[in-house]
Amino acid sequence: MKFTVLGSGAVGGVPLYGCDCPACQRSRAVSSYIRRPASALIEHGNTRIALDAGLADFGTRFPSGSLDAVLLTHYHMDHVAGLFEIRWGKGASLAIHGPVDEHGCDDLHTHPGILDFSATLEAFQCFEISDIRITPLPLIHSRPTLGYFIEVDGARIAYLTDTVDLPAATLAFLQTHRPDLMLLDCSHPPSDTPRRNHNDLNLALSLHQKIAPLETWLTHISHDLDAWLMAHPEPLSRGVSIAQDGQVWRGLV
Ligand SMILES: [Zn+2]
Ligand SMILES: [Zn+2]
Ligand SMILES: [Zn+2]
């Protein structure tokens, strides 16, 4: 089993267009600090599943037939942009699983091309793709959004972006089915004013405490949070780290 962070960035990414803050300057100088749209890939045996499709070069990275499915968290552009080009392609259809959202994104649903949106997911109703077991978990965001609890090869991964805090039922599920690896939205530096659509660092750390996974990787990171972390280099809580594009987790070893 191999889990790869394809992108760890908030909307706009890092570097942010036109920004000269320390984090954006650093990522222009050292490419490992670049943050692309938040997304990931799970591979096990011959099965490959993408989590979100916001990468501009999604179709180049995943040629026709190379993916079994895409799990969409929601229909904001930074999570679906890569689908707009490949939908006009030829060959096998690509199954797109995601939340029920009658508006979707632009005309994706009215002109799906080779994309197959026919599967409808229900919260907490698990399903399988090959031998990967997936449970959709409701999140709290500005439009219908699902996180995913993924059981593969004896490992448990929770993928939780975009969200601010968690619904009580999702939190209870995660406390019962404790993940080994949790990817958690943390777009903002610590803040005294409550955020509306994404976690700040304080909220993300408190969710890590409540759920107690073996490892938490914070994702959907903004340039503001990167700049704050550069000014506050002390380690985060035990078990918590900041995800990086290209980072790989290979399960419990
Ligand atoms: Zn997003
Ligand atoms: Zn910046
Ligand atoms: Zn969003």
Asked if residue 53 is part of any domain, the answer here is yes
Distance 95 CA to ligand 1 centre (A): 21
Asked if residue 252 is part of any domain, the answer here is no
Instruction: Supply the CATH number for residue 235's domain.
Output: 3.60.15.10
Question: Residue 134: its pLDDT value, please?
Answer: 98
Question: Residue 252: its pLDDT value, please?
Answer: 82
Ligand nearest the Cα atom of residue 38:
1
Question: Residue 138: its pLDDT value, please?
Answer: 98
Distance 208 CA to ligand 1 centre (A): 20
Rounded Cα–Cα distance for residues 220 and 205 (Å): 15
Question: Residue 132: its pLDDT value, please?
Answer: 98
Bridge partners of residue 71, in order along the sequence: 51, 97
Residues with CB in 5 Å of ion ligand 1: 78, 162
Rounded Cα–Cα distance for residues 218 and 216 (Å): 6
Asked if residue 103 is part of any domain, the answer here is yes
Question: Residue 120: its pLDDT value, please?
Answer: 82
Rounded Cα–Cα distance for residues 15 and 27 (Å): 6
Distance 151 CA to ligand 2 centre (A): 36
Residues with CB in 5 Å of ion ligand 2: 16, 19, 21, 24, 223
Q: H helices then E strands: how many in the chain?
A: 7, 14
Global pTM reads 0.97
CA nearest to 187, candidates 237, 138, 223? 223
Question: Residue 103: its pLDDT value, please?
Answer: 87
Asked if residue 251 is part of any domain, the answer here is no
Asked if residue 50 is part of any domain, the answer here is yes
- Domain range for 82 is 2-246
Instruction: List, run by run, the mean pLDDT of 10-residue segments along the chain (253 residues).
Output: 98 98 98 98 97 97 97 98 96 96 93 94 96 98 98 97 98 98 98 92 98 98 98 95 98 80
Bridge partners of residue 248, in order along the sequence: 4
Q: Which DSSP letter does residue 62 get?
A: S
Distance 202 CA to ligand 2 centre (A): 21
Distance 194 CA to ligand 2 centre (A): 22
Ligand nearest the Cα atom of residue 33:
2
User: How many structural domains compose the chain?
Assistant: 1
Question: Residue 101: its pLDDT value, please?
Answer: 94
Distance 187 CA to ligand 2 centre (A): 13
Distance 8 CA to ligand 1 centre (A): 10
Long-range contacts from 64-69, C-beta under 8 angstroms, 24+ separation = 64/89, 64/90, 64/91, 64/92, 65/91, 65/92, 67/94, 68/95, 68/129, 68/130, 69/94, 69/95, 69/96, 69/97, 69/129
Amino acid occupying residue 24: C
Question: Residue 30: its pLDDT value, please?
Answer: 98
Rounded Cα–Cα distance for residues 245 and 219 (Å): 10
Rounded Cα–Cα distance for residues 124 and 115 (Å): 24
Asked if residue 87 is part of any domain, the answer here is yes
Distance 140 CA to ligand 2 centre (A): 26
Ligand nearest the Cα atom of residue 79:
1
Distance 163 CA to ligand 3 centre (A): 8
Asked if residue 108 is part of any domain, the answer here is yes
pLDDT digits (tens, 9 = 90+) for 9-18: 999 999 999 9
Q: How many CA atoms lie within 13 A of 84 on its CB side?
A: 14
Ligand nearest the Cα atom of residue 24:
2
